[in-house]
């Protein structure tokens, strides 16, 4: 579940080549605000959403595992996009 969300979050970053500084730059698109707001709502209401299904002592572990998946999915997505940009510029 976290990996899927991570790939979606990784989609919100626009990665492109900046000619003047000769660096890869990252910017966000319009969906970023929606995704960040959705994440904040999830964090606020996670206990209410998952307590009927998950033991209250396991919610912390569940949250950490989902967040780890999100971070990994985001990392993989951004790495893939960065490699693509660098290959287009023939930097790697």
Spans of all domains in the chain = 2-88
Three-class SS of residue 36? helix
Give the global pTM: 0.65
Dihedral angle over CA of 64, 70, 74, 75, nearest 10: 40
CA-based nearest residue to 5, from 64, 63, 66: 66
Per-residue pLDDT of 5-57, as tens digits, reads 777 777 777 788 888 888 888 776 666 677 778 778 877 887 788 778 878 77
- Hey, which residues does 14 pair with through a beta bridge? 27
Q: What is the predicted pLDDT for the residue at 21?
A: 83
Give the tokens for residue 90. Answer: 């023939």
Residue 9 in contact with residue 26, Cβ under 8 Å?
no
Q: What is the predicted pLDDT for the residue at 32?
A: 66
Given a cut of 80, is residue 73 above it in pLDDT? yes
List strand residue ranges (DSSP E) for 1-92, in order. Answer: 13-18, 23-28
């Amino acid at each position: 579940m976290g990996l899927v969300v991570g790939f979606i979050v990784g989609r919100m970053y626009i990665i492109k080549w900046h000619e003047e500084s000769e660096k890869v730059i990252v910017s966000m698109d319009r969906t970023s605000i929606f995704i960040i707001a959705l994440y904040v709502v999830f964090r606020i209401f996670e206990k209410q959403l998952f307590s009927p299904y998950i033991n209250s002592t396991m919610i912390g572990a569940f949250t950490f595992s989902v967040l780890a998946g999100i971070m990994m999915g985001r990392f993989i997505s951004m790495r893939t996009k960065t490699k693509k940009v660098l290959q287009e510029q023939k930097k790697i």
